[in-house]
Amino acid sequence: MPALRRLWLQCHRWTALSLGWVLIVSGLSGAVLVVARPLDHWLHPQYFVAQGDATRGAVALETVRRALAEEFGPRAGLTFRPPREPGETLQVLVRGAWRGTVFIDPASGREQGRRADDEGFVNTLFGLHSALWMAMRGKAVLAWAALAYLGLLATGLVLWWPRRWPPSLRIEWRAGLLRGLFDVHRTGGAVLGLLLAVSIATGAFMAWRPIGGWINALGGAAAAPAPTLAGPPAAMLPLDALVGRAQAVFPDGRVGFVTLAPQANRPVRVRMRVPGEPHPHGVSVVWVDPRDGSVLSASRWTGLDPAGRLNAVIYPLHTGELGGLPLQAAVALAGLATGALGISGVWLWWRRRRARRGQGRAPVRAAAPH
């Protein structure tokens, strides 16, 4: 048993020392994002609060689309996020030579501001949290680090497991800083293990799409491919008419996003949130032919593949939106705990390594001639 325990300790220690920096950065940035996003809305109302007269009604989406297509080119990808609450702006995500979000007053169609993907504290922090500022490579690193961290939690639980129950959860600060940090690291990981595991596992799922493919493969299912358009490109119907066709499929749903892909053979994608759907933006999808408004396919979230149905729950669970303020506080706590466990673990290893080196040099110094 002592030999097996040493093996568990070595696996725990060196996995943490190798990937600890990823976990510290991801955990702390995630905790800050929970607070930074609402703070960003409060500090920059010009982006998020509509300044026009809402009693005038809403400007046609087609009017906004044409203006943006004229500026960014007809083949720029555009994703419209209609207002979901009274007083919100219409937000359009642009994917072209310029990549960012344009904020528009829904009553007048006037632009209130724009923000590039890499502009602003929240966007910069989100890029660090979601991809380590390395695009898809960063997402893969985060996913593998998260999966390794689940192993760290398991090995840490084995090392913590007490011989007698109930276990002592006391933190002995009176015995010195090193002992106090050891107790924080050991007890904190055990007490918050389930919360950390949920936060990290959901983050891994969201960070890297192949994980969803593995889940579908285990369930013997596959994600339905996006439909494509046959024939040469043709003029599209007004965007409002296309959204109306999608709304007729799920009349009880709320439009979350309307996406116009840059590829000429892609139909319009309308994401909707139907009653009972946990995802705040909705993952129920309607594909509409832009040339004649015919519905090519439609899927409620309950009819998606296993990974798609999981995503409807995992996203709001990871961000805390599924449970309101209490869950958001738990998400922030999980991020802080992840960072604290990583920092305390590295600190403990460094202090003990220093102490062992000091003990090894002591006899040599004592024998040295005066």
Q: What domain range includes position 352?
A: 2-39+124-221+322-358
Looking at the fold, whether 135 and 184 belong to one and the same domain comes out as yes
Looking at the fold, whether 14 and 92 belong to one and the same domain comes out as no
Boundary residue ending a domain (77, 108, 123): 123
272 vs 250: CA distance, rounded Å: 8
Looking at the fold, whether 128 and 198 belong to one and the same domain comes out as yes
Which tokens sit at 159? Answer: 């090392």
Looking at the fold, whether 188 and 83 belong to one and the same domain comes out as no
Strand order in the sheet with 268-273: 111-116, 99-104, 90-95, 77-81, 254-260, 268-273, 284-288, 295-299
Residue at token pair 């002995």: 172
Boundary residue ending a domain (123, 144, 164): 123
Output the pLDDT for position 321. 92
Looking at the fold, whether 80 and 213 belong to one and the same domain comes out as no
Output the pLDDT for position 1. 59
Residue at token pair 């169609």: 109
Nearest to 300, CA basis, from 310, 313, 285: 285
Looking at the fold, whether 135 and 208 belong to one and the same domain comes out as yes
Rounded to the nearest 5°, which phi and psi values hold at 367? -85, -5
Looking at the fold, whether 205 and 352 belong to one and the same domain comes out as yes
In a domain, 226, yes or no: no
What is the DSSP secondary-structure string of 200-234?
Answer: HHHHHHHH-HHHHHHHHHHTT--PPPPP---SS--
Output the pLDDT for position 300. 96
110 vs 124: CA distance, rounded Å: 26
Given a cut of 70, the residues of the chain with pLDDT beneath it are 1, 360-370
* 3-class DSSP state of 248: helix
Overall number of domains in the chain: 2
In a domain, 168, yes or no: yes
Boundary residue ending a domain (123, 142, 167): 123
Looking at the fold, whether 185 and 130 belong to one and the same domain comes out as yes
- The answer to whether the peptide bond before residue 227 is cis (omega within 30 degrees of 0) is no
Helices (H), the chain: 2-43, 45-48, 61-72, 121-131, 135-160, 177-191, 193-207, 209-218, 239-249, 306-319, 324-367
For the stretch 19-70, pLDDT in tens is 888 989 999 999 999 999 999 999 999 999 999 988 788 999 999 999 999 9
Output the pLDDT for position 361. 59
Q: How many CA atoms lie within 13 A of 154 on its CB side?
A: 8
Looking at the fold, whether 74 and 204 belong to one and the same domain comes out as no
For the stretch 210-253, pLDDT in tens is 999 999 999 899 888 999 998 777 789 999 999 999 999 999 99
Output the pLDDT for position 235. 86
